[in-house]
Chains A and B, each alone.
Chain A
Amino acid sequence: MTKKQLKRVDIILSPYSVSPYQVLINTVKRSKDEVIKEMINSGLRGRGGAGFPTGLKWKLASEQISDEKYIICNADEGEPGTFKDRKILSEVPRKVFSGMAIAGWATNSTKGVVYLRREYKYMVADLEKEIEVFNNKAKEIGLDFSINIFLGAGAYVCGEETALIESMEGKRGEPRNKPPYPIQNGFKGKPTIVGNVETFASASMVCRYGADEYVKFGTNDQHGSKLFSISGDSPKEGVHELELGMSIEDFVHEFGDGDTKAVQVGGVAGFCVPRKHFKTTIIGEGQTTGGATMIFNSTRSMYHVLHNYLDFFVEESCGQCTPCRVGTQQLLKGIEAVKLGEKEPEYLEQLIKLSQTMKVASKCGLGQSVANSFASIVTNFKEEMIY
């Protein structure tokens, strides 16, 4: 087997070789339409996992007519296996604030909010200092845009953009019906851009390098670099900035411990890829990903892994949609019953059908994505579910 060196890139996490606020100053001298066009041409897609084209989001928000618009940076990273936003906000927060300010300027928004998950409260003091630096800088260059922090209170579902907005409005974090989308009717009913931490940092990088340079990275499907949160059975756990478009085989070569049995791509809401599919699965093609990759070696019980995921979903389902609330509980009970021999192995097929129903009948990404990990683990590790 030939060992292919993964292409490492160093765009987002590199130190400030050019001040992100200089990038901001240079960008706001251009025309707004031109910058939005640049963002569209860069092909940048949301880095939280959903992968919505960033340029298009900005364009749609810029076309909304309103006395106030909001830019919200989603730092509620609750997906098990994801911790890149913590690293970005600790090491290069100015890239994020610069991206938020550019988005604000381009869409005529004057207020930015960083929605920080409660678990990261220990980061607030440092972030507030950085935000003060930013707010002073914005005043100095005459840009009408300010940022503040909103602290979450512990709920995975609030990573969903409309649940996040509900939470900021002092309500239960239950996702709204879409449409209307936040760009039409968001925080306090005003047009709102909700973007991932890494997306805003990437947007600032697009403005720095230009779309032509930026598209040289990545695949035809997804451009640029991506941060990967790597954990599990790996000697190189941590955040790594890589180019999209690598096969899992190459990935495992570099980050596995030599005995990798399965890789969970995209956190517990993503897919579990078994060894036999390592060669043919390309990360960043077809499926978008938030970059969480958990590596399991052959000592791990995949029943135990799935049980842990389902426990998580049962607790974090907001309870609003019946298919998700009841479905997550039934999937958990179901795999326990099969394991104990109370149900025939064929029952697993019915459970997979249930998970597919949840995919079409749930309102938000939480209920819709349970089937991803459920079906991929049950199908590929069926014997571990039964014996």
Chain B
Amino acid sequence: MSELKTVISDQIKKHGKGRDALMPILQSIVEKNNYLTNENMVEIAKELDISAADVYGTASFYSFLETEERGRYVIRICKSITCDMKGKGKVLRTIQDMLKIKIGETTQNKKFSLLETNCIGLCDQGPAMLINDDFYNHLTPEKVREVLVDYIRNKN
């Protein structure tokens, strides 16, 4: 809990104690812990002196502010029309086969979560996906396999 308080107070130092500090606080917790717990949100509400429902209302509105447990690496594959046309389906099946999870699920070792996302602005380089903040473009089943093998072997 003390670690959480440090994250919150760091952001309050930067942005003040007003409501506009909320987004940066939520973002920095997700960056650290991959998702927001109910306890996190209650604590933030206390610090900013707003209701916990307001904090949850904001957090649950945005697709990158996770309120469910996620793995350390969140894979977001773009499902918008041009990525879909360029073969997103095959890429997605490859990921599901390799990690043995479906969309919305997390691997047992809590390393990967798999999500579909709307347009990530790489329509000219589709199919495309994000793993946390990094993007991968022009994906094929072979290429996505290489990417994932690298994560499985070389990243914790």
Say whether B124 contacts A170, CB under 8 Å.
no
CB of B21, distance to nearest CB on chain A (Å): 7
- The verdict on A170 contacting B85 (CB below 8 Å), with A80-B119, A81-B119, A155-B62 known, is no
In this complex, how many residues of chain B approach chain A with their Cβ under 8 Å: the count is 36
Say whether B58 contacts A83, CB under 8 Å.
no
Say whether B63 contacts A153, CB under 8 Å.
yes
Say whether B123 contacts A81, CB under 8 Å.
yes
In the assembled complex, the Cα of A232 lies from the Cα of B127 at a distance in Å of 11
Encode A144-173 as 1/0 by CB contact (under 8 A) with B.
Answer: 000000111111100000000001111111
- Whether, in the assembled complex, B133 has its beta carbon less than 8 Å from a beta carbon of chain A, the answer is yes
- Whether, in the assembled complex, A26 has its beta carbon less than 8 Å from a beta carbon of chain B, the answer is no
Say whether A268 contacts B81, CB under 8 Å.
yes
Say whether A233 contacts B57, CB under 8 Å.
no
- Whether, in the assembled complex, A16 has its beta carbon less than 8 Å from a beta carbon of chain B, the answer is no
Say whether B85 contacts A300, CB under 8 Å.
yes
Say whether A83 contacts B122, CB under 8 Å.
yes
Say whether B20 contacts A156, CB under 8 Å.
no
A interface secondary structure, majority: mixed
- Whether, in the assembled complex, B27 has its beta carbon less than 8 Å from a beta carbon of chain A, the answer is yes
In the assembled complex, the Cα of A119 lies from the Cα of B79 at a distance in Å of 14
Contact of A173 among B21, B54, B61 (CB under 8 A): B61
Say whether A86 contacts B62, CB under 8 Å.
no
- Whether, in the assembled complex, B95 has its beta carbon less than 8 Å from a beta carbon of chain A, the answer is no
- Whether, in the assembled complex, B23 has its beta carbon less than 8 Å from a beta carbon of chain A, the answer is yes
Say whether A170 contacts B61, CB under 8 Å.
no
- Whether, in the assembled complex, A79 has its beta carbon less than 8 Å from a beta carbon of chain B, the answer is yes
Contact of B19 among A77, A170, A300, A309 (CB under 8 A): A170
Q: In this complex, which of B65, B119, B135 has the most chain A Cβ atoms within 10 angstroms of its Cβ?
A: B119
Encode A285-305 as 1/0 by CB contact (under 8 A) with B.
Answer: 000000000101000100001
Which residues in chain A, 35-61, are within 8 Å of chain B measured between CB atoms?
none
Note all chain B residues with C-beta closer than 8 A to A268.
Answer: 81
Note all chain A residues with C-beta closer than 8 A to B21.
Answer: 170
Say whether B80 contacts A308, CB under 8 Å.
yes
Contact of B121 among A86, A152, A230, A311 (CB under 8 A): A86
Say whether A231 contacts B23, CB under 8 Å.
no
Q: A81-B80, A122-B134, A294-B81 are in contact. List 5 more A-B contacts (CB 8 A).
A: A79-B119, A118-B62, A167-B23, A170-B21, A238-B124
A selection of 8 A-B contacts at a CB cut-off of 8 Å is A154-B62, A168-B23, A170-B58, A171-B57, A172-B57, A231-B124, A268-B81, A311-B79
